[in-house]
Amino acid sequence: MDYPLLVGIFPQVLLDGIILGFMYALIALGYTMVYGVLEFINFAHSEIFIVGAFVGVEILLSLKGAGLLETLPWPLVLVLILVAGMAGSAALAVSVERIAYRPLRAAPRLIPLISAIGVSFFLQDLIRLVESVWRNAFNLVYPTMDVLNERFELTSTLDVSVKSLVVIVAALLMLWALHAIVNRTKVGTAIRAVAEDQAAASLMGINVNRIISLTFLIGGAMGGAAGVLFGVQYGLINPYSGFIPGLKAFTAAVLGGIGNIPGAMVGGIVLGLLEAFAASYLSLLTGGAFGAEYKDIFAFSVLILILIFRPKGLLGEVVRERA
Amino acid sequence: MSRYPVRVTAVLLAALALVALPAGSHLTAQGKGTIKIATQSPLSGGQAALGEGIKLGTQLAVEKFKGNLEKMGYKVELVPFDDQAKPDVGVANAKNIIADKDILVVIGHLNSGVAIPSSEVYKEVNLAMISPANTNPTITDRGYASVYRVCGRDDVQGVVGSEFAHATLKAKTAFVIHDKTTYGQGVAEFFKADAEKKGIKVLGFEGTEEKSNFDPIITPIKAKNPDLIYFGGIYEQAGPFFKQAREKGVKSKFLGPDGMDSSDLTKIGGKAVVGMHYTSVAGPVSVYPQAKQFAEDYKKKFGKNPEPFAAQAYDATAIAVKAIEATAKGGKAPTREAVTAAIRGVRHTGITGSVEFDAKGDPKKALYFVLQVVSDNPEKWGDNKEVKRLVIAAPSK
């Protein structure tokens, strides 16, 4: 076995994993927050996430068409697409809640779940329809901004590109902002109150409907930001690109303890790291017997193990044996 | 309760009438009936660029060559099917195709992994499939009488690639990636086997279905720093992979099979793919002198340049029409069996060269190209430089 190689790529794989993990974390927040207040899984969240990426690419392509992409300062462009992507996804998340979930609020939990799956399919094909009519394209490519691809070689095997730094900084800012909103503001207190007990919260004068909309708004905005960062980092999106990352992020939310906000962040990063390490190391460690294609099997096996020993997830409360 | 079955019967009868009406009008139509030519290729999704080219190439050929059959009193129609590059969809379409008795021949598919199970369905009713693009050896090696192709094979194409890597690119080490499909993995294995025989050290052989995040695969490749990366797969996956690899500072040369051969590769990969080589069984239209008129007609009619395999689909259709004409001579109604048998005897000089089938349904001699991407402008895909052209007979075993 080639030990210098195994050790040499370690920092780079760690970095790849962290970047992927932050993206999962941002998406997982949408699942976990909605679960926290409504106790159902918003399966349409993977499409809400990818819509953010589409809003971002549309703005970039329009800027490029107008010849502004090169002249505007790049941090401004990035902030612009991030804000627009967040706004687009947040608006979509709120409308989905209003149209497809609120009328079913009194129904058994399975009913909005089915509705969510329906919305997910509907949105996938709606995006596909709009993009094929509007751009006549299935795969959309994020226009390259050369600054973002500049790399700093830290060692011979580790280098960091500007866009990786952008992803990490943006994700950290988002997570910090969310943490601050939920824990230090009145609105955040209201969200936590609704999550704890809807009836009691409404008796305390909290407008439950509005807080639920707000939860979708925040979760959607985080998903939209993740979408834009996903597009910037990986460069290519199509209407179905959201599905797999969405599924993984949902897994991350469960891993961290669904309904638990710090749990989603931790779960996302753990899953991102597991996936990156499995994909990079499996074939090296097994001499090619297991390749990168087994990364999901490996990651999900670990997930099952964790859930066997901690059924409520990494940061969920420990379930006590009932006497 | 007793009225319920009556109502059901009434509804069923109404539905039956609706279904029966068009069928009835078909019988009363003037002439001898309709001959349909079906296409199966991905018309939606990430590989639609090539799939649509196959459909449009066929459409152009049907319009051009249907004259004789129309004089005989037949109506000739094109029925395009969208297989979405998915085996299950291809097979479902195939079942619909064999149910429509007017369909006498299928032009398709794009993906070998779709063509193989679908042709099992065609074979049940002896319906001919002429493939413009499927290169996996299994397609014809099953020895089905109803399966033909007008292009080369991957057991040759993979070797053309490794020969080029060894002799021209002077690669000493290579890393092979594939997309786990019948086509991609197949051609990658042929490349790998022959490369190793020629003394190229294969540092890794990875399959992946990933479409967006290639980071964890690229990191070990970068550390191993191979002279060459071979991607056995299709442009929609290879494009982002090559792009991300260059962005991460991988300096290896890139090489791929004919799955790279679409202008969408540069649309996705941009500058990263300029200068890379790929082997193909279908050169750009510009390398075929007889195809000039075709390219002009295509551009005029559809407003874009023909994608690779459009010209092959055009030739495949011309062969199909010739075979149908031969069976319809003397006023006989052409049957699927007769058309299938007649194709074997067709000698056709088309816009991509002359085609004559061997006993398995492979062209006796096929063209193989090595091409180089010259520009990151997708409009200029047709200008890709022809580095090498080989005429190789189909392997006989």
Q: How near does any CA of chain A get to the CA of B247, in Å?
A: 6
A40: Cβ contacts below 8 Å, ≥ 6 apart: A34, A101, A109, A112, A113, A116
- Same domain for B252 and B118: no
Q: What is the pLDDT of residue B83?
A: 95
Q: How near does any CA of chain B get to the CA of A157, in Å?
A: 6
B24 lies in some domain: no
Whether residue B27 is predicted with pLDDT greater than 50 in this model: the reply is: no
Q: A237 in contact with B at a CB cutoff of 8 Å?
A: yes
Which one-letter amino acid corresponds to residue B99?
A
Q: What is the pLDDT of residue A303?
A: 82
Q: A164 in contact with B at a CB cutoff of 8 Å?
A: no
- Same domain for B309 and B241: no
Residue B207 is nearest to which of A9, A157, A293, comparing CB atoms?
A293
Q: What is the pLDDT of residue B29?
A: 43
Searching chain A, which residue's CA lies closest to the CA of residue B180?
Answer: A293
- Same domain for B383 and B252: yes
Whether residue B15 is predicted with pLDDT greater than 70 in this model: the reply is: no
Residue B240 is nearest to which of A13, A153, A234, comparing CB atoms?
A234
Whether residue B330 is predicted with pLDDT greater than 80 in this model: the reply is: no
Q: What is the pLDDT of residue A317?
A: 62
Q: What is the pLDDT of residue A1?
A: 61
The one-digit pLDDT tens for each residue of chain A (323 residues) are 678 888 888 999 999 999 999 999 999 999 999 998 888 899 999 999 999 999 999 999 999 999 888 888 989 999 999 999 999 999 999 999 999 999 998 899 889 999 999 999 999 999 999 988 888 888 899 988 888 888 888 877 788 889 889 989 998 998 899 989 999 999 999 999 998 889 999 999 999 999 999 999 999 999 999 999 999 999 899 999 999 999 999 999 999 998 888 899 899 999 999 999 998 888 888 877 788 888 888 888 888 888 898 888 888 764 444 44
Q: Higher pLDDT residue, A4 or B396?
A: A4
Q: What's the CATH code of the domain at B257?
A: 3.40.50.2300
Q: What is the pLDDT of residues B99-150, one digit of tens each?
A: 999 999 999 899 999 999 999 999 999 999 999 999 999 999 999 999 999 9
Whether residue B25 is predicted with pLDDT greater than 60 in this model: the reply is: no
Whether residue B365 is predicted with pLDDT greater than 70 in this model: the reply is: yes
Which region holds residue B361: left if phi is over 0, alpha if psi is between -120 and 50, else beta? Answer: left
- Same domain for B376 and B346: no
Buried b (16+ CB within 10 A) or exposed e, A157-185: bbbbbbbbebbbebbeebbeebeeebeee
Q: What is the pLDDT of residues B228-282, one digit of tens each?
A: 999 999 999 999 999 999 988 899 999 999 999 988 899 999 999 999 999 999 8
- Closest by Cα among B162, B136, B161 to B149: B136
Q: Report how far residue A146's alpha carbon sits from residue A299's, in angstroms, rounded to the nearest whole number.
A: 34
CB contact under 8 A, A237 and B48: no
B21 lies in some domain: no
Q: Which of B178, B210, B212, B263 to mutate to test the interface with A (most CBs of A within 10 A)?
A: B212
Searching chain A, which residue's CA lies closest to the CA of residue B267?
Answer: A141
Q: What is the pLDDT of residue B112?
A: 94
pLDDT bracket for residue B337 (50, 70, 90): very high
Q: For chain B, what percent of residues have pLDDT higher than 70?
A: 92
Predicted-complex ipTM score: 0.88
Helical spans, DSSP H, in A239-260: 243-256
- Same domain for B161 and B147: no
- Same domain for B40 and B118: yes
Residue B219 is nearest to which of A12, A139, A149, comparing CB atoms?
A12
Token code pair at residue B124: 């049940």
Q: Which residues pair with B40 in a beta bridge?
A: B81, B108
Q: What is the pLDDT of residues B200-216, one digit of tens each?
A: 999 999 999 888 889 88
CB contact under 8 A, A13 and B236: no
Q: Strand (E) positions, A97-183? A: 140-141, 151-153, 159-161
Q: Which residues pair with B204 in a beta bridge?
A: B175
For residue B206, the chain A residues in CB contact (below 8 A) are 283, 291-293
Q: Which helix (H) or strand (E) holds A67?
A: none
Class for domain A3-141+157-309, per CATH? Answer: mainly alpha
Q: Which of A7, A60, A236 to mutate to test the interface with B (most CBs of B within 10 A)?
A: A236
- Same domain for B299 and B220: no
- Same domain for B374 and B250: yes
B244 lies in some domain: yes
B contact set with A (CB within 8 A): 44-46, 48, 180, 204-213, 215-217, 219-220, 222-224, 236, 239-240, 243-244, 247-249, 264, 267-268, 270-271
B113 lies in some domain: yes
A236: Cβ contacts below 8 Å, ≥ 6 apart: A139, A140, A141, A142, B211, B212, B239, B240, B243, B268
For residue B219, the chain A residues in CB contact (below 8 A) are 9, 12-13, 16, 280
B7 lies in some domain: no
Q: Report how far residue B135's alpha carbon sits from residue B281's, in angstroms, rounded to the nearest whole number.
A: 8
Q: Higher pLDDT residue, A253 or B19?
A: A253
Ordered by start, the domain boundaries in chain A are 3-141+157-309
Structural domain boundaries, residue B95: 31-152+287-363
Q: What is the pLDDT of residue A40?
A: 86
- Same domain for B318 and B236: no
